[in-house]
């Protein structure tokens, strides 16, 4: 039977051979997940022997990673805003930049002293936004939409894990198509597909070959779905309510040109830690017939 140190050394060499970046870190993360331990444990117990069963499971994980499959799909989970979310190939892997949407909503709820905010999450995927906001805002009413029934199943499972499923209404819909027009929201959050299909070859293989195409790509330079939502969600937003959309690199100017400023005011653009314009915020205003 191999030791932990031997396992890590062999796995790291295999991943390096297959041109996986940060091979040692990848090997360690997979073993930590399998052993349900942390890095300190691996270092302190590097001479411990590993059972044949664990070894076999680990080799399968390393083989999957060596082919480019993301760690999150191999381990079936990813952290988002301090919570653990189930993920699989039916949903996008939650990313840190999407937490900008969470921060904006939480700050506005506090600033406006909203007691029971109504929040819409369009393109919910794993449910990261909807579940997080439901957990952070116990009195909020949340509605979550996705066009994929498989994605909604994952999102509902995450809602159950975090004990907020009874406070989220779920809809399988193409954007807001199936929403009742009587519904009104203080916030509409959206992390929709925004990658141009022509850019497929430029993506990392972890994204290109494993994450769901339905959640990645949109026509018209990646802008079609966001442009549609900007127009179609207008009847569902309270006056002075917000639409908060995640966008791709270099899309801010093109999207803001598509905004109907009779209904919306461009409130702000939020940049991520790399200084990239990542989130656009629109505020609904009184319709002006003179605009």
Residues 139/167, Cβ–Cβ less than 8 Å:
no
d(CA 252, CA 249): 8
Task: With beta carbons less than 8 A apart as the criterion, state whether 112 and 105 touch.
Answer: no
CA distance 5 to 26: 14
Q: pLDDT of 185-206, one tens digit each?
A: 999 999 999 999 999 999 999 9
Per-residue pLDDT of 234-255, as tens digits, reads 999 999 999 999 999 999 999 9
Asked if residues 29 and 8 have their Cβ atoms less than 8 Å apart, the reply is no
Query: What local confidence, expressed as pLDDT, does residue 290 receive?
Result: 42
pLDDT at 288: 56
Q: How far apart are CA 220 and CA 212, in angstroms?
A: 19
Beta-sheet pairing, 168-172 with 264-271: unpaired
pLDDT band at 286 (very low <50, low <70, confident <90, very high): confident
251 and 222 in contact (C-beta within 8 Å)? Answer: yes
Q: Does the pLDDT at position 120 exceed 50?
A: yes
The pLDDT tens digits for 23-50 are 999 999 999 999 999 999 999 999 999 9
In tens, the pLDDT along 62-93 reads 999 999 999 999 999 999 999 999 999 999 99
pLDDT in tens, 138-160: 999 999 999 999 999 999 999 99
From the number of C-beta atoms within 10 Å of its C-beta (0-12, 13-18, 19+), residue 166 rates as exposed
């Amino acid at each position: 039977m191999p030791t932990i140190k031997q396992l890590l050394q062999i796995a790291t060499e295999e991943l390096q051979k297959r041109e996986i970046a940060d091979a040692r870190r990848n090997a360690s993360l997979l073993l930590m997940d399998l052993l349900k331990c942390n890095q300190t444990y691996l270092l302190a117990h590097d001479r411990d022997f590993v059972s044949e069963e664990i070894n076999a499971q680990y080799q399968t994980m390393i083989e999957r990673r060596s082919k480019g499959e993301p760690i999150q799909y191999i381990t079936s989970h990813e952290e988002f805003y301090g919570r653990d979310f189930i993920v699989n190939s039916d949903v996008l892997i939650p990313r840190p930049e999407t937490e900008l949407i969470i921060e904006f909503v939480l700050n506005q709820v506090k600033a406006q002293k909203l007691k029971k905010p109504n929040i819409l999450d369009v393109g919910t995927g794993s449910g990261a936004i909807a579940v997080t906001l439901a957990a952070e805002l116990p009195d909020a009413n949340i509605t979550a939409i996705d066009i994929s029934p498989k994605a909604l199943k994952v999102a509902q499972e995450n809602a159950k894990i975090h004990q907020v499923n009874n406070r989220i209404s779920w809809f399988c819909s193409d954007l807001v198509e199936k929403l009742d027009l009587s519904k009104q929201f203080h916030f509409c959050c959206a992390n929709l597909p925004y990658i141009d299909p022509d850019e497929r070859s430029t993506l990392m293989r972890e994204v290109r070959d494993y994450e769901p195409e339905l959640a990645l790509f949109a026509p018209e330079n990646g802008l079609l779905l966001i442009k549609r939502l900007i127009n179609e969600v207008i009847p569902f937003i309270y006056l002075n309510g917000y639409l908060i959309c995640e966008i791709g690199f270099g899309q801010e100017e093109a999207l803001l040109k598509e905004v109907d400023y009779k209904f919306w005011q461009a409130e702000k653009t939020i940049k991520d830690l790399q200084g990239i314009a990542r989130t656009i915020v629109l505020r609904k205003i009184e319709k002006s017939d003179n605009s």
